[in-house]
């Protein structure tokens, strides 16, 4: 076919070439000019279920527990109760609107709402605040079946019905911590508002469920804490009574005294007869009297010491695990008063000889202690220089 023949063919059929596209375009326009536009909105929520840290600091995920947690969340989002709450909250929000505002809803939606809820019902359910309006809508809907609000919520209304909210799609994104919620309706602003109200509703419900699970655990620990406090208080009262009966409190109450300490005795065991332990105690008492001259704090042990609470709080706590922490506390309290010794036999508590086991035998225990005290005997003739007991290191 030549070019000239092609041009003649176009001119011969020019009318059809123009009419067919025009007719098709007109037909499409006619049938779609009143079609309702649909707007879509999506929201992504981070849950922290799969990768969140536990109280133990571990982020190891349990597949079945994680899957179950996500199923619970999705069931909560898709539940009828949640959607009814969202529908009522959305209706309450819109009933508060007195004049048309394009930032809250479209003009068509506003006109439809005016027709949907008659003034007689508005006077009953519309209150001064949105929260009060929500409560009034719930009460009105529950008052009897087939009333205006009940019919709206259970109808096919494009905004305020449970059936419409069934179009909300919630899914977990792959194996991540994310949940995507999607919704479509013919009003862009209402579409966004619906998703926001849904998020608020299901998050509040989920938080309430978690708090309910935690209550039993919290109650358990509160009861255990209370029981432990009672036991601790009883032990403290017994200790106070012991101190009163054995002169410790009498000495501690003397002016200028910040801390007192007593002696202690060992409970005999088959491998450590009482006569051996008695010899060890006498040798220890001699060493303690020597230490008391310049460094009495070295004799202070938690088992047999007492101090003025105010001075102890001023001195502060030893925050690291270190041998001799009670002696460090006594050293710090020497700036507030002296350390006194109580030699009364009745002020001596009893303890097991487990510290001797580290030496292997009784003879070795005595030998090690004698050698150690001889090595530092010269040092015991001078006072310890002031230093920070919270960070200092023990002498060998």
Q: What value does the mean pLDDT take over residues 28-50?
A: 76
| pLDDT (mean) for 74-99 | 90
What are phi and psi for residue 350, nearest 5 degrees? -110, 140
Summarised one tens digit per residue, pLDDT across range 338-382 is 999 988 877 788 888 888 878 878 888 888 888 888 888 888 888
285 shares a domain with 201: no
Residue with the two structure tokens 């008063």: 337
Q: What is the pLDDT of residues 223-258, one digit of tens each?
A: 888 888 888 888 777 766 665 556 778 888 889 999
Residue 45, H or E segment = strand 39-46
Structure tokens at 303: 């088992």
Looking at 59-68, 90-99, 255-264, 368-377, which range is the least confident one?
59-68
Domain that holds residue 182: 34-213
Q: Which two tokens stand for residue 272?
A: 């450590």
Residue 66 sits in the same domain as residue 198 = yes
- Whether residues 187 and 49 share a domain: the answer is yes
Q: How far apart (Å, rounded) are the C-alpha atoms in residues 109 and 37?
A: 13
Q: What average pLDDT does the segment 108-131 reach? A: 90
CA distances from 279 to 264, 298, 357 (A): 13, 21, 17
Q: What is the mean pLDDT of the chain?
A: 84
CB crowding 223-261: b at 16 or more within 10 Å, else e = eeeeeeeeeeeeeeeeeeeebeebbbbebbeeeebbbbb
What's the CA angle centered on 9, arms 4 and 14, to 5 degrees?
A: 125
Residues 191 and 269 grouped into a single domain: no
Residues 88 and 174 in one domain: yes
What is the count of structural domains for the chain?
2
> Which residue, of 180, 196, 213, is where some domain finishes?
213
Instruction: Assess contact for 180 and 207: CB atoms under 8 A.
Output: no
The answer to whether residue 56 scores a pLDDT higher than 70 is no
308 falls within a domain: yes
Distance between CA atoms of residues 376 and 370, nearest Å? 10
Whether the per-residue pLDDT at 205 is higher than 80: the answer is yes
Q: Please tell me the predicted confidence (pLDDT) of residue 13.
A: 78
Gap between the Cα atoms of 356 and 89, Å rounded:
74
pLDDT in tens, 282-306: 998 999 999 999 999 998 988 888 8
* CA distance readout (Å), 177 to 69, 169, 173, 281: 11, 17, 8, 65
How far apart (Å, rounded) are the C-alpha atoms in residues 224 and 102? 58
Do residues 169 and 279 both lie within one domain? no
pLDDT score for 55: 41
Relative to beta strand 257-262, strand 305-307 is antiparallel
C-alpha angle 111-115-117 in degrees, rounded to nearest 5 = 120
Q: Is residue 233 part of a domain?
A: no
Q: How far is residue 154's CA from residue 162's CA, in Å, rounded to a whole number?
A: 6
Secondary structure of residue 36 in the 3-state scheme = coil
Same domain, 182 and 246: no
**Helices 188-245 and 63-78, interaxial angle, to 10°?**
130
In this structure, the answer to whether residues 110 and 190 fall within a common structural domain is yes
Q: How many CA atoms lie within 13 A of 321 on its CB side?
A: 0
pLDDT of the residue at 325: 87
Ranking 159-163, 203-207, 319-323 by mean pLDDT, the lowest is 319-323
Helix and strand numbers (H, E) in the chain are 15, 8
> Could you tell me if residue 26 is inside a domain?
no
Asked if residue 11 has pLDDT above 90, the reply is no
The predicted structure's pLDDT at residue 91: 93
Closest CA to 246 of 232, 263, 233, 269: 263
Whether the pLDDT of residue 54 is over 50: the answer is: no
Using DSSP, state whether 1 is helix, strand or coil. Answer: coil
Average pLDDT value for residue range 259-275: 89
pLDDT at 60 over 60: no
Q: How far is CA 121 from CA 246, 306, 318, in A?
A: 83, 76, 70
Model confidence at 57: pLDDT above 70: no
Cβ contact 239:339 at 8 Å: no
Q: What integer pLDDT is reported at residue 340 of this predicted model?
A: 92
- In-domain check, residue 25: no
Residues 138 and 198 in one domain: yes
* 119 found inside a domain: yes
Query: Both 367 and 244 in a single domain?
Result: yes
């Amino acid at each position: 076919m030549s070019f000239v023949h092609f041009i003649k063919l176009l001119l011969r059929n020019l009318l059809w070439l123009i009419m067919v596209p025009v007719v098709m375009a007109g037909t499409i326009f006619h049938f779609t000019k009143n079609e309702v536009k649909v707007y879509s909105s999506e929201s992504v929520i981070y849950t922290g279920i799969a990768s969140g840290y536990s109280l133990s600091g571990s982020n190891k995920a349990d597949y079945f527990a994680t899957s179950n947690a996500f199923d619970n969340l999705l069931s909560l989002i898709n539940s009828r109760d949640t959607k009814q709450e969202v529908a009522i909250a959305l209706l309450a929000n819109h009933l508060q609107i007195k004049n048309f505002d394009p930032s809250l809803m479209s003009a068509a939606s506003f006109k439809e709402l005016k027709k949907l809820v008659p003034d007689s019902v508005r006077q009953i359910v519309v209150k001064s605040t949105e929260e009060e309006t929500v409560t009034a809508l719930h009460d009105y809907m529950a008052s009897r079946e087939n009333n205006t609000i009940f019919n709206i919520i259970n109808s096919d209304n494009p905004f305020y019905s449970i059936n419409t909210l069934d179009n909300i799609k919630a899914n977990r994104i792959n194996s991540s911590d994310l949940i995507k919620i999607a919704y479509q309706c013919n009003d862009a602003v209402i579409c966004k508002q619906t998703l926001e109200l849904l998020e608020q509703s299901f998050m509040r419900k989920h938080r309430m469920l978690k708090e309910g699970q935690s209550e039993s655990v919290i109650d358990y620990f509160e009861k255990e804490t209370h029981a432990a406090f009672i036991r601790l208080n009883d032990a403290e009262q017994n200790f106070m009574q012991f101190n009163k009966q054995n002169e410790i409190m009498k000495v501690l109450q003397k002016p200028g005294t910040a801390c007192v300490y007593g002696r202690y005795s060992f409970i005999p065991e088959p491998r450590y007869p009482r006569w051996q332990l008695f010899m060890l105690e006498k040798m220890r008492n001699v060493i303690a009297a020597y230490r008391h001259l310049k460094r009495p704090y070295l004799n202070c042990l938690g088992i047999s010491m007492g101090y003025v609470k105010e001075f102890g709080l001023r001195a502060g706590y030893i925050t690291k695990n270190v041998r001799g922490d009670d002696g460090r506390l006594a050293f710090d309290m020497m700036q507030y008063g002296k350390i006194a010794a109580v030699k009364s036999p009745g002020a001596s508590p009893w303890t097991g000889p487990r510290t001797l086991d580290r030496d292997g035998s009784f003879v070795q225990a005595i030998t090690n202690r004698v050698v150690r005290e001889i090595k530092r005997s010269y040092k015991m003739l001078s006072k310890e220089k002031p230093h920070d007991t919270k960070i200092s290191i023990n002498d060998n």
